[in-house]
Amino acid sequence: MSTPHNDVFADALKRLDLAAQYAKVDPETLLRLRQPKQFLEVSIPVRMDNGSLRIFTGYRCKYDDTRGPAKGGIRFHQDVTPSEVKALAFWMTFKCAVAGLPFGGGKGGVIVNPFELSMAERERLSRGYIRAIAWAIGTDVDVPAPDVNTNGLIMAWMADEYSNVVGRREPGVITGKPVAMGGSLGRDDATARGGFFILKELEVKLGWDNKKQARRIAVQGFGNAGENFARLAHADGYQVVGVSDSNGALYNAAGLDIAAMLKAEHKPGLLPDPSLCGAGTKKITNAELLELDVDMLVPAAVENVITEENANRIKAKVILELANGPVTVQADGMLERRGVMVIPDILANSGGVTVSYFEWTQNKMGFYWTAEEVRERLALYMRREFSAVFDLAKKHGIGMRIGAYAHALERLGPALESTGTAKRYAKE
């Protein structure tokens, strides 16, 4: 069974406790990391197109900012809850630390189904949200970004509204903006490309050679991350045998024609007709896609898709988490006992926040890099941190997830302790 929303944060904290066994961290540091530094709930009045007034509820969580300003996306979704926002901000804290970025963790959300709103209503909601939290964010305080159901255009509205509130232009207050508004080249496929760089480093660690044997990959989700990862892997010689969207999945034992699929007309996040995806392509269910016999499974959609209910039926040798929280705590243990390598979300999908860091840096210095420069820097970060986590996990004989959390704690611990609150400093 999937984890209820009200347990998401509790599950996140379980991984903190497991990781603490493999990192030298003061108990007071762990105590501080069990609660967010700041959590806001705001009401957002929005005038609808028909003249009526609706009040939406929004949240912003600054989990920790010891290593730098908080960083994390804003999602528009009808199922947003305080627990989910806290958990996502917690994960962002560790994601930024594991990626070696000078950021803490944050997250935001609004309870709304944005597809029920007109574009004008979405703009008013976006601007209203920023007005409500403007005092709590800033270039060196808390830096939002896109997340579920938000995009570059919405970030442009929000950045513009923040400028209206404070009376000056501050492009670094929000990342994931359009390039014309100070966004970074290379941001559009950063999450997928970061995961792909990890795949290339994994080849070295595991001795994979696609020229001798094409490895098989299944990608769950055909949104930005899933679609771009499938494109990059296919171009590199991998057999992408399965992909899915919210309505189902497509499978081709000989490998889908990803290039043709991307050229075909289809709505964002949804798959084209099977006839356009290569001869022999057939429809399967999302559940069947997760259980395909592949070398790598890439969950790139939503949380809690691999659970204790289906974990023992997963045949993939490696799971690369491009989605946030696709594997539950219970499933994690089951997969580890079976020898399935799980490259966790806080490492695998950190390409997005890494390029957000590049965008923030470019905004602050007023100098912008080429797409090639962005990709070169991203490759350096992703390969370096993957190798560090892989080696740490191997040293302690633990899974990659706990290895990633322990790696992050080795950075968070000294930062929190150096603020002078740890017992060992108090004794001096």
Question: What does the alpha-carbon distance between residue 318 and residue 297 come to, in Å, rounded to a whole number?
Answer: 6
In degrees rounded to 5, what are phi and psi of residue 269?
85, -10
Selecting among 62, 71, 86, 107, the annotated active-site residue is 107
In the prediction, which pLDDT does 1 show?
36
Question: What does the alpha-carbon distance between residue 41 and residue 82 come to, in Å, rounded to a whole number?
Answer: 8
Architecture of domain 190-348: 3-Layer(aba) Sandwich (3.40)
In degrees rounded to 5, what are phi and psi of residue 345?
-55, -40
For 177, other C-beta atoms within 10 Å of its C-beta total 28
Lookup: tokens for 249: 């999945």
CA distances from 286 to 243, 294, 306, 323 (A): 9, 15, 11, 15
pTM over 0.85: yes
Question: What does the alpha-carbon distance between residue 144 and residue 270 come to, in Å, rounded to a whole number?
Answer: 27
Strands (DSSP E) contained in 19-82 are 38-47, 53-64, 70-77
Lookup: tokens for 189: 């496929």
| 35-170 CATH fold | Rossmann fold (3.40.50)
Q: Do domains 35-170 and 190-348 have the same CATH topology?
A: yes
CB 318 within 8 A of CB 295: yes
Mark whether 282 is an active-site residue. no
Domain ranges in the chain are 35-170, 190-348
Ordered per-residue pLDDT tens for the chain, 428 residues? 344 444 778 888 888 888 888 888 888 889 999 999 999 999 999 999 999 999 999 999 999 999 999 999 999 999 999 999 999 999 999 999 999 999 999 999 999 999 999 999 999 999 999 999 999 999 999 999 998 899 999 999 999 999 999 999 999 999 999 999 999 999 989 999 999 999 999 999 999 887 778 899 999 998 889 999 999 999 999 999 999 988 899 999 999 999 888 888 777 768 878 887 888 899 999 999 999 999 999 999 887 899 999 999 999 999 999 998 899 888 999 999 999 999 999 999 999 999 999 999 999 999 999 999 999 999 999 999 999 999 999 999 999 999 999 999 999 999 998 886 555 555 55
CA distances from 120 to 48, 148, 338 (A): 9, 19, 51
Which of 121-156 are b and which e, b meaning 16 or more Cβ less than 10 Å from the residue's Cβ?
A: bbbbbbbbbbbbbbebbbbeebbbbbbbbbebbbbb
Lookup: tokens for 114: 């944005």
